[in-house]
Structure 1
Amino acid sequence: MEGIKVVEMGFWVAAPAAAAILGDWGADVIKVEPLTGDPYRGFRTYFELTIGRAENPPFEVDNRGKRGIALDYTTDEGKAILMDLLEDADVFVTNVRRDALLRNGLDHETISKRFPRLVYACLTALGLEGPEVNRPGFDVGMFWSRSGVAASLALPGQHVPSQRGGMGDHMTGIAAAAGISAALFQRERTGNGQVITTALIRLGSYMMSFDLACAIKFGLETVAADRFAPANPITNYYMAKDGRQFVLLGVEPDRLWPVMLRAFERPEWASDPRYADTVARAEHTRELVAELDELFATRTRDEWAERFDAEGVWWAPVNRVDELVNDLQAQLAGCFVPVPQQDGTVRDMPATPVTFLDYTVQPRLPVPEVGQHTEEILIELGMSWDRILELKDKRVIN
């Protein structure tokens, strides 16, 4: 995407993630922040207080490779600067709530009319229409909770488990980056930009499409999987002698059951009517899970891994993230990318999830400090130093 200019006016994760993906793909991304900065920067204080490190790795993932300008776009002069930025921009990405966009004349209707070649990407919690479009969203609210994900993870009567931050946001960012790319492709054909939009609830419902489709067609309620009584006990999580966990991937159970029996060294189960086929194993799932729990407690995970791989069992380790960092296959799959730091060093960080075999996807700039490139960007727009100093004094820019 070299030659593509992206202006991002985003907060927290979803919109910044979309822009960061485009930046990794070569776009020139300008992050527009209020004078006080993106509130996501506040996590730096959390890490400083909890582990004594005044850094913010999560923010870095979604904001590396960008240039930063800080301005008060709620003022006439600040908004004029934003309009100048959009004059030759290809993409505008935002997740500001619709009421604030309308109040400041930055809604997609107004901006698209003024800049017809612009691709306007609007990321929301709940869409662009309806009585709740201005309700605060966030990943844990509209992706995890409202779209049914959280409820699917708790058995009846249990509290839903807490979720890790940003998962739905990052999926929404991926979807937005894909939509932006398609819109840019269409612009090559027609000369016209367009509005693309996606929402946290939209990505949550799509992620839940297996269950959602069954609810629509059959009226079925999602039931959380009971680890001790799964429908298919050979697609289930187990713990080895050393406390390390793994998942069996018996998704084609009758074909894979004989393979597993060889690895388990339990040939007698082949003639046990309780475990004869998929239906029988489902009917006796608690018994089989209990037997497998007892069996797997006799060896370490590495020892089981050797047995599984020797016999061709489908399985995967349950990694902690610190284990993933050192997972050679994850490294070779491109899960990490070198990112320049403000101090001139380079450090591996999580990569965005697409590799182009003929293009090196790599952030070119460190995470900007608040307003780090304000003067540079304004000079590119043709603004004089006297005017820049005047706007600084008036607290329009930082």
Structure 2
Amino acid sequence: MTVTEKLNGYGPLAGIKVVEMCTYVAAPATVRVLSEMGAEVIKIESFAGDTQRTQGPGFGCELTDTEDPTIDLNNTNKNWVSLNLKDPEGLAIAKKMIGEADIFMNNMRTAALQKLGLDYETLHKEFPGLIWGQMRGYGEFGEFAHSPGYDAVCWAARGGVAGTFPEKDTSPAIPPQAFGDYNTAIMMAAGLLGALVNKLRTGEGDKVVVNLYHSAIWGGSIGLCAQQFGADYPKSRTNVPNPFNNTYKTADDKWLYICQPQHNRYYNDMMKIIGRDDLVDDPRFATIENVKAEHRQPELITILDEGFAKKDLEEWLKILAEWEVPSQKVFRFTDILKDDEAYVNDAIRKVKYDAFGEHALPTTPIRFAGYGDPPIILSKPIGYHTAEYLEKFGYTPEQIAELEEKGAVKCYHGEEVPDTIFKSERQEKGEAACNW
């Protein structure tokens, strides 16, 4: 039984077929979004597998022959086929699978795609209803069109993230690995779904392209606009444009983030909150226009620093909630991993490994009322479903063995890996339906 059959028609994309030739993060994560909406996904790997399979040990996440928590991050609910695209028969099988798909998603170099006949122009002529998606580091034109791309260089470095996020006059920020990849994956999924709607209306496929550099620029829209009007980045927290949108250290050495964008409307409230009634209606600080004109941000931030330093974080959170000031503790990943809010809303789901025990797996963020929290089945070893899918295409066991002997396909011959479906916390408690 394939993973898709195990999911029993779950999701708004049930019946939609996706063939994936993707490695690392952004592109496979795009397809994970579709797989958790119920699409049937055939992930075609080389005999060596998705390069992401090599990444876990780099940050202490080991893997076994059947379990890999790193590959699970981008590859839930997929079916695993391994083909040698350099072999004519292996490539022919891939073409058959693509020909039956609604979407073909890749992040291969354009030159390699053209050499294999998997480029958009070639496949569109052969399969005019196919949606062809490509995740790129940079755009299709210009000096970097054919350069390799990772989120660290395309998104974080050239996209301005590393240079604008840190405190001013400090070293560039080092964002967590693949932070830009996961954001860009949602954008790519949106593009594919837009093309799918058009295909269902017209029968015509399309080419969908997203790149990491553009994704970073889109995410930096407000900063890029503000930069053109004199707001230079990076900034120091002691000199931000609006002191009410800033971080402050509390008496217990924790950091609080407040976001009160309407300075003029809430100035008096903020002064009362920190116990500075003497500054109510003070013309030096009461309007953001005056604060900016007289460059009084550092002075007002010092006043706020002194105020927030007088109470512990939990006291401030209660006070700010009473005044309806949007605020939060500045979390680290250690805080998120034990945050009930993340689990009850299924942003993180517990999964169990034979070798590693229970671990937290982030989920894709889109939810449909008609389907509820998606089922999650973890990844499989290379070539786990190769034989099963070849049989669906009419190959006999003897022919499959011959293809494997010739080096055209790779089949899995290890121990069976159960299709365990992991439920959300609320589903486990019987508080939410399992619509599969």
TM-score if structure 1 supplies the norm length?
A: 0.91
Task: Select 1:145's aligned residue among 133, 152, 157.
Answer: 157
In structure 2, the partner of 1:276 is 286
Q: CA deviation at 1:325?
A: 2.9
In structure 1, the partner of 2:314 is 302
Contact (CA 8 Å) 1:122, 1:196: kept in 2 or not?
A: yes
Distance 1:347 1:158, change over 3 A: closer
Contact (CA 8 Å) 2:251, 2:311: kept in 1 or not?
A: yes
Distance 1:290 1:221, change over 3 A: closer
Task: Select 1:258's aligned residue among 261, 268, 277.
Answer: 268
| Local SS of the residue matching 1:101 | helix
Contact (CA 8 Å) 1:247, 1:317: kept in 2 or not?
A: yes
Q: CA deviation at 1:337?
A: 4.0
Give the whole-Å Cα distance in 2 for the aligned partners of 1:118 and 1:340: 37
| Local SS of the residue matching 2:239 | coil
In structure 2, the partner of 1:203 is 215
Q: Do residues 230 (structure 1) and 244 (structure 2) align? A: no
Give the whole-Å Cα distance in 2 for the aligned partners of 1:221 and 1:110: 47
Give the whole-Å Cα distance in 2 for the aligned partners of 1:117 and 1:347: 41
Q: Do residues 88 (structure 1) and 100 (structure 2) align? A: yes
Q: Do residues 354 (structure 1) and 363 (structure 2) align? A: no
Q: Do residues 75 (structure 1) and 87 (structure 2) align? A: yes
- CA distances 1:81-121 after superposition (whole Å, capped 9, x unpaired): 10111121111000111111112211111111111111111
Contact (CA 8 Å) 2:131, 2:206: kept in 1 or not?
A: yes
Distance 1:84 1:371, change over 3 A: same
Task: Select 1:322's aligned residue among 317, 334, 338.
Answer: 334
Q: CA deviation at 1:357?
A: 1.0
| Amino acid corresponding to residue 127 of structure 2 in structure 1 | F
Contact (CA 8 Å) 2:167, 2:237: kept in 1 or not?
A: no
Task: Select 1:12's aligned residue among 24, 36, 45.
Answer: 24
- CA distances 1:1-38 after superposition (whole Å, capped 9, x unpaired): 00011000001011101110000000011111110111
Give the whole-Å Cα distance in 1 for the aligned partners of 2:61 and 2:37: 33
User: Unpaired runs of 5+ in structure 2?
Assistant: 1-12, 411-436
Contact (CA 8 Å) 2:275, 2:307: kept in 1 or not?
A: no
In structure 2, the partner of 1:290 is 302
Contact (CA 8 Å) 2:82, 2:382: kept in 1 or not?
A: yes
More helix by share: 1
| Amino acid corresponding to residue 246 of structure 1 in structure 2 | L
| Amino acid corresponding to residue 394 of structure 1 in structure 2 | K
- CA distances 1:214-262 after superposition (whole Å, capped 9, x unpaired): 56xx586842121111121111011212222121112011112222223
Percent pairwise identity = 30
| Amino acid corresponding to residue 176 of structure 1 in structure 2 | M
Q: CA deviation at 1:338?
A: 5.7
Q: CA RMSD in A?
A: 2.4
Contact (CA 8 Å) 1:101, 1:107: kept in 2 or not?
A: yes
In structure 2, the partner of 1:126 is 138
Give the whole-Å Cα distance in 2 for the aligned partners of 1:247 and 1:127: 35
Contact (CA 8 Å) 2:103, 2:133: kept in 1 or not?
A: yes
Contact (CA 8 Å) 2:61, 2:69: kept in 1 or not?
A: no
- CA distances 1:53-81 after superposition (whole Å, capped 9, x unpaired): 76643431210110111111122111011
Contact (CA 8 Å) 2:56, 2:70: kept in 1 or not?
A: no
| Amino acid corresponding to residue 276 of structure 2 in structure 1 | R
Give the whole-Å Cα distance in 2 for the aligned partners of 1:247 and 1:377: 51
User: Unpaired runs of 5+ in structure 1?
Assistant: none
| Amino acid corresponding to residue 356 of structure 1 in structure 2 | F
Q: CA deviation at 1:322?
A: 2.4
Give the whole-Å Cα distance in 2 for the aligned partners of 1:200 and 1:190: 30
TM-score if structure 2 supplies the norm length?
A: 0.84
Give the whole-Å Cα distance in 2 for the aligned partners of 1:384 and 1:141: 46
Give the whole-Å Cα distance in 1 for the aligned partners of 2:107 and 2:182: 13
Distance 1:147 1:259, change over 3 A: same
Give the whole-Å Cα distance in 2 for the aligned partners of 1:162 and 1:139: 11
Task: Select 1:391's aligned residue among 403, 416, 426.
Answer: 403
Q: CA deviation at 1:361?
A: 3.9
Task: Select 1:164's aligned residue among 169, 173, 176.
Answer: 176
Of 164-173 and 148-157, the range deviating more from structure 2: 148-157
| Amino acid corresponding to residue 272 of structure 2 in structure 1 | R
